[in-house]
């Protein structure tokens, strides 16, 4: 198969019905990335962007792509949830790439910041859905650490598949508040402790991010989290993948339909206050992280 330029195709986009050679494919991804950034005004001159890097293909490709844009300052950081045999490899890849690009990189662990590792939750709480806890604590630490690093924005590596999944998950749950807060720049709060998030990868399909990382020689951790089996997102992912196979372009249509719809959605209301326990931004008196933490710390062997 040939690319439109006449070169040998290395990637076939089913939703376009055409092949791409390495050089045209890489350029198309870089164009798409810059387009998302400029269309949504994700980065302004003088911004300091904290880039959350897990060590997977999405966050590392994002770090690489961001490093090609000028006019702002950047710092990378990773959260180590304490998932043996999974996260350490990713953090190693993140540190390596950041070093190669000359970008400062920090690592923060649940163990040090919260006092336990995700792997230990089963022993502490018995039967537990790890992702429910892990997701809340990650969001909590991402915001806190981005702020401590002096960032004006927090960049996360959500790709098009993640975004389509989030849209559909909030839709089926009927969570209109969260539904209205999705998008490339879903910053919601006037609270100074809240660092607005940006998602510069959200127009690039997951498969294409993987192909980009491989073609650019970006070393990333491809393993799956051992706790991901009890994850609702995973079910939605498999449902959308089936649809995409049968009806190419489904994920893009979901995201672009959402973007058109968002313009007419009411701006989500709800004041953001500071948690009475930890002082972090919260929609209630106590933030979700402190709520979950109090349940964990009440366990006898966690009292120290």
Q: Which residues bind ligand SF4 (CB under 6 A)?
A: 81, 83, 118, 130-131, 134-135, 225, 227-228, 231
Partner from Zn ion, ligand SF4, none binding residue 131, C-beta < 5-8 Å depending on class: ligand SF4
Whether the CB-CB separation of 286 and 277 falls below 8 Å is answered with: yes
C-alpha to C-alpha distance for 166 and 271, rounded to whole angstroms: 23
Start-end of H helices in 149-216: 160-173, 176-180, 206-215
**Residue/partner pairs of 186-192 with CB below 8 Å, 24 or more apart:** 188/268, 188/272, 189/272, 189/281, 190/272, 191/272, 191/273, 191/274, 191/281
Number of residues lying near Zn ion (CB under 5 A): 6
290 lies in the binding site for Zn ion (CB under 5 A): yes
Is 191 exposed, middle or buried (CB count within 10 Å of its CB: 0-12, 13-18, 19+)?
middle
DSSP state, residue 118: G
94-133 residues near Zn ion, rule: CB under 5 A: none
Q: Which is nearer to Zn ion, 98 or 154 (CB)?
A: 154
Instruction: Give min distance, CB of 195 to ligand SF4, in A.
Output: 20
Instruction: Give min distance, CB of 130 to ligand SF4, in A.
Output: 4
Partner from Zn ion, ligand SF4, none binding residue 209, C-beta < 5-8 Å depending on class: none
Window of 89-97, 108-116, 224-232, 270-278 that interacts with Zn ion by CB under 5 A: 270-278
Determine how β-strand 281-282 pairs with β-strand 273-274.
Answer: antiparallel
Instruction: Give min distance, CB of 275 to Zn ion, in A.
Output: 3
Instruction: Give min distance, CB of 121 to ligand SF4, in A.
Output: 9
CA 86 to chain centre: 17
Instruction: Give min distance, CB of 170 to ligand SF4, in A.
Output: 17
DSSP state, residue 119: G
Partner from Zn ion, ligand SF4, none binding residue 277, C-beta < 5-8 Å depending on class: Zn ion
Q: Which of 93, 103, 275, 296: binder of Zn ion (CB under 5 A)?
A: 275
Which two tokens mark 122?
């089963």
Partner from ligand SF4, Zn ion, none binding residue 278, C-beta < 5-8 Å depending on class: Zn ion
Start-end of H helices in the chain: 22-39, 57-66, 87-101, 110-114, 121-125, 130-148, 160-173, 176-180, 206-215, 232-246, 250-262, 288-297
60-79 residues near Zn ion, rule: CB under 5 A: none
Q: Which is nearer to Zn ion, 117 or 277 (CB)?
A: 277
Q: Which is nearer to ligand SF4, 2 or 173 (CB)?
A: 173
Window of 46-54, 130-138, 166-174, 285-293 that interacts with Zn ion by CB under 5 A: 285-293
Interface residues toward Zn ion, by CB under 5 A: 275, 277-278, 280, 287, 290
């Amino acid at each position: 198969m040939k690319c439109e330029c006449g070169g040998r195709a290395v990637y076939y986009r089913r939703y376009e019905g055409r092949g791409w050679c390495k050089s045209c494919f890489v350029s198309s991804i870089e164009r798409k990335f810059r387009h998302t950034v400029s269309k949504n005004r994700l980065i302004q001159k003088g911004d300091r962007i904290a880039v959350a890097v897990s060590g997977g293909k999405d966050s590392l490709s994002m770090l690489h792509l961001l490093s090609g844009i000028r006019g702002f300052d950047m710092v990378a950081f990773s959260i180590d949830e304490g998932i043996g045999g999974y996260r350490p490899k990713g953090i190693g890849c993140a540190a390596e790439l950041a070093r190669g690009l000359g970008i400062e990189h920090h690592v923060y662990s649940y163990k040090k910041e919260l006092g336990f590792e995700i792997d230990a939750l089963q022993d502490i709480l018995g039967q537990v859905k790890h992702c429910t806890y892990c997701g809340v604590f990650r969001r909590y630490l991402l915001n806190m650490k981005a702020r401590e690093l002096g960032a004006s924005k927090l960049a996360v590596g959500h790709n098009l598949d993640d975004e389509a999944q989030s849209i559909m998950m909030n839709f089926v749950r009927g969570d209109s508040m969260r539904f209205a807060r999705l998008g490339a720049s879903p910053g919601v709060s006037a609270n100074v402790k809240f660092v607005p998030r940006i998602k510069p990868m959200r127009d690039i399909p997951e498969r294409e991010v993987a192909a980009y990382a491989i073609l650019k020689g970006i070393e990333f951790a491809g393993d799956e989290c051992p706790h991901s089996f009890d994850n609702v997102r995973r079910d939605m992912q498999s449902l959308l993948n089936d649809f995409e196979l049968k009806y190419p372009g489904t994920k893009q249509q979901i995201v672009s339909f959402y973007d058109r719809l968002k313009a007419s959605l009411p701006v989500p209301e709800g004041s953001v206050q500071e948690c009475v326990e930890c002082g972090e931004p919260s929609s209630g008196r106590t933030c979700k992280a402190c709520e979950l933490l109090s349940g964990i710390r009440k366990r006898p062997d966690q009292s120290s």
